[in-house]
Chains A and B, each alone.
Chain A
Amino acid sequence: MSDHTSKQFDAEMEAIRSGVLSMGGLVERQMARAIAALEEDEDAKLIDAVAADERAINQLQIAIDQQCAQIIARRQPTAVDLRIVLTVTKVVNDLERIGDEIKKVAYKAAGVRGSDRLTRIRYYDVVRMAGGAQQMLRKALDAFARLDVNEAADVVADDDDIDVAFNAVMRQLISFMMEDPRTISASLEVVFIAKAIERIGDHAKNISESVVQVVKGKDVRHATAEQIRAEVAGE
């Protein structure tokens, strides 16, 4: 994109964009730690690190939102600049929510470790689901960084897979709880983990939809993956 006549305006726009990317980097690191907490034996240091990441993410959300408010107040951005500023305020909100969900995953993982009633096999599905959400997050951030609408459309389609996996995990857990009521409390912890992962997928999808709005100027929230693909493919 060509530069503004005002170099200061360019610098301010670049600051919010790179702010989102460093916030995204933090969230990705936090996600990797939460998955490690799911896979490995309970590690108190890992949980602490996830919590610290979450606090840093919250601070960035506030800082970037303030920068956006300043740009709106001082520059009255229009067209592509306006679309970017609007999108950034939405994306930082989604990233902050992802940070909250990841923290839940890590804390609940520690809780599940306390119970030995659950087998590794069931847990494996949840870890795989988390891997899928991690992929979606990475692709959504990449789509934002490169304003790549095709990749954004992929993420929206991926969300359907996460939803399918979530339903499968729920069915498994229900049958398990019916067989042996002593597993109920640990299973409920897993339900919360799976739900948090499913929400991470939703937020990654929101970020991708925002990317489509920046590039195409179209609000594609609530559209189906096929509709979004068609919009992206259109001129």
Chain B
Amino acid sequence: MLGSARPGAAGLTPDASPPPPLKAESRDLSFHYGNGFKALNAITMPVHEHRVTALIGPSGCGKSTFLRCFNRMHDLYPGNRYEGAIVLHPDNTNLLADDVDPIEVRMRVSMVFQKPNPFPKSIYENVAYGLRVRGVTNKNHLDDKVEESLRGAALWDEVKQRLNEVGSNLSGGQQQRLCIARALATDPEILLFDEPTSALDPIATASIEELISELKKRVTILIVTHNMQQAARVSDYTAYMYLGELIEFDRTDTIFFKPGRKETEDYITGRFG
């Protein structure tokens, strides 16, 4: 159900350059919850490498469900069922295949949640956690990785003097950046953000958005947001979802200036009844 997918067909700055290569794509992805509810219906959508893709849509449209498929979060509850595939490039791995280990998937595809959820451990241990799970014990290697990840999350200068304090002593925005550092530590290829700023004030929100723009040089990003302006500010591509369907996917400048479908236009202009 893809809408007008001509890139830049009606954008502010028509861009004839070819889209960047694919990092992943969902192919005819449907998802059923254990209670039989079908939350996603045959979603086919590209995820471009080193770009930010925003998923928008009203509550209950399936955008968070879709996001969680990318790191097999739904496996944690029995009875949930996937159909179709999420293919990770360049190795063409179907993340949803039975023989693919969800733990391995989560190393490659990390998640940052709505509310900052640091572990009840020190700042250092929060970031080192994923590496320790992977069996890394070399202290020098851990030190380097922790610093690199905290720098990547724009938090290093604020916490380098107090790495042994508990993470929950940090401010909300800092905690969220700590969670981003923790997600970065395993060198993921894709970062998933599920409404990462909805619990933050405008300044902390701006710093996370700035960070997202920096991070896309390293990783590919998928973000779910209720804040349409945020999607417009941070993303390169936008997908509009409604009732478990992908209504339209296009470049963000096209979606916010002249979307191809009336449903999209009604939603982003606040005409959604």
Interface residues of chain A, those whose CB is within 8 Å of chain B, are 1-6, 9, 76-83, 216-218
Contacts and interface: CB of A to CB of B under 8 A. Distances in A.
Nearest to B272: A5
Interface string B232-251: 10000000000000000000
19 contacts: A2-B271, A4-B270, A4-B271, A5-B272, A9-B270, A78-B228, A79-B255, A79-B257, A79-B259, A79-B264, A80-B269, A81-B269, A83-B257, A83-B258, A216-B10, A216-B258, A217-B10, A217-B258, A218-B10
B256 interface: yes
| Chief secondary structure at chain B's binding surface | helix
A202 B271 CA distance: 35
Contacts of A217: 10, 257-258
Among B255, B258, B273: residue with most chain A CB under 10 A: B258
B229 interface: yes
B270 A5 contact: yes
Contacts of B266: 2
A209 to B, nearest CB: 15
Given A80-B265, A216-B10, A3 B229 contact: no
B9 to A, nearest CB: 8
Sorting the interface of chain B by its residue count into under 10, 10 to 19, 20 to 34 or 35 or more gives: 10 to 19
A79 B268 contact: yes
B227 to A, nearest CB: 11
Nearest to A235: B4
A76 B232 CA distance: 11
A223 to B, nearest CB: 13
A76 B257 CA distance: 12
Contacts of A77: 269
- Nearest 7 pairs between A and B by C-beta? A217-B258, A217-B10, A79-B265, A78-B256, A78-B268, A4-B270, A81-B269
A79 B270 contact: no
B270 A6 contact: yes
A82 B256 contact: yes
Contacts of B229: 76
B220 to A, nearest CB: 25
A177 B3 CA distance: 62
B264 to A, nearest CB: 8
